[in-house]
Amino acid sequence: MVFSSLTFLYVFLPVVLLVYWLAPKGLKNMILLIASLLFYAWGEPVYITIMLFSSLVDYSHGLLIEKYRQHPWLPKLILLSSVCINLSILFFFKYTDFVLHNLNAWLGTNLALLDLPLPIGISFFTFQTMSYTIDVYRDAVPVQRNLINFATYVTLFPQLIAGPIVRYSEVAREIDERTISWPGFYAGIWRLLIGLGKKVLLANNIGLLWEEISRQTSLSLASAWLGAAAFGLQIYFDFSGYSDMAIGLGRMLGFNFPENFNYPYISQSITEFWRRWHITLGSWFRDYVYFPLGGSRVSGFRYWRNLFLVWFLTGFWHGAAWNFILWGLYMGLLIAVERLFLAKLLRRVSRPLRHLYVLLALMPSWALFAIEDLTQLRAYLGIMLGLGGARLVDPVFVYYLGNNALLGAILLLAATPFFAQLARRVKPKSRLRWLQPIVLVIILFLTTAYLVADTYNPFLYFRF
């Protein structure tokens, strides 16, 4: 089940909210746990056991770390056990076939692939549970002694399958005690429906353009760049829209989840872009991988090793395919070049030129991210770089650009704070405050009509 479905919006969510509101305070976490398990079981009932096992592993390891905290080496061994179990589960389901496939290709073997379905959201909830045991080991959070409360944190359906990656430290107090107010609930509805509109009305429609261009057997340079731009906009509105919905649902239930996007396309450097894009993943790798390795405090080989290791892992986290690894290393290379000399040069040029640099540098990265077949990827990147004799412009480009001009203009504005700034000008006591609920009703109506028509409605991060 996904948030952008009629079943979720008109059946699951209203029933859960009604039962949750009517339940006494002591049963609210139990209600959320049951609802979250039902939400997950809708798509993959068998894999509930994996999520519950992961919850039990980190719950018990947290208790053991707390119990033996004064021991000179046992807490570190317990932490190592937790990390190894979690990464083993993630590796087995997500990366085993990738390794077997490459061994067969390199060594000429014929090892049978497992062909296991990927448990939905495993990359997200694995990182969440690991952050808990690591923070307990660091004595950064209090240990959770109530198994129901801890399982509620792990399985919490608003952020279960696509984040944001919510660390236990960020919701520890709210897991035990939270309040639901009408202003918070209304803010949650607003955020939920804005995210729904971004996902269904914007991401889905520009995604159709990418689908059409990616199916073409012959492209011009302009068409290839248009396709990459369409995918870049699709993945932004798809993922940030889903994050908005998750944050809004959290507010409706009394939780305050961290922000995951902050208008990344207005960035003036790739370094800034990654401070604004998938913020919770970047901060997770920074705090649990980059800093423990020494971060930027070390010099020479170790400094560059840390940087490229983090970006290799960032790419590999997104998917068990070489294109994701190449995508991560490409991003790491851009950041490395900025740290070496480019950042100083960028500060000397105007903001429009810095912004143009970011957009041009990002376009090849979206081709790397979108195309898993390396042969097709090489051909597509060759066209983008003007290799292979591709034409500069073709009728395909003119046709698709003209048909999507209005949508493109809306997307470009929506990728900036423009609409958010307009909304903030409507004060609670303003005469225009009635516009907000009207906007919400219009968004709900349009998205419902779109979903009733059973049109194109993928979710790109569902596979991670």
In sequence order, the 6+-apart residues with CB closer than 8 A to the CB of 362 are 232, 270, 273
What span, in angstroms and rounded, lies between the C-alpha atoms of 144 and 59?
Answer: 7
Q: Please state, in angstroms and as integers, the Cα–Cα distance from residue 284 to each residue in 245, 408, 411, following that order.
A: 21, 33, 29
Q: How far is CA 11 from CA 8, 76, 117, 360, 374, in A?
A: 6, 46, 27, 43, 42
Helix (H, G, I), strand (E, B) or coil at 454: coil
Note the Cα 416 to chain centre separation in Å. 19
Distance CA 98, CA 445 (A): 43
Cβ 172 vs Cβ 142: under 8 Å: yes
Distance between CA atoms of residues 247 and 430, nearest Å: 26
Q: With contact defined as beta carbons under 8 Å apart, do 233 and 188 qualify?
A: no
Amino acid residing at 214 = S
Residue 432 has what DSSP assignment? T
Residues 6+ apart with CB under 8 A from 253: 20, 32, 158, 178, 180, 188
Give the residue among 145, 138, 3 at the shortest CA–CA distance from 75: 138
**Structure tokens, 95:** 């990366």
- Determine whether 61 is an active site residue: no
SS (HEC) of 30-68: HHHHHHHHHHHHCCCHHHHHHHHHHHHHHHHHHHHHHHC
Q: Which of 71, 278, 318, 355 is catalytic?
A: 318
Q: Which residues contact 217 (CB under 8 A, 6 or more apart)?
A: none
Give the angle subtended at the CA of 310 by the CAs of 309 and 312, to the nearest 5°. Answer: 65
Extract the tokens encoding 284. Answer: 């997770």
Specify whether the CB–CB gap between 57 and 78 falls below 8 A: no
CB of 238 within 8 A of CB of 459?
A: yes
Catalytic site positions: 318
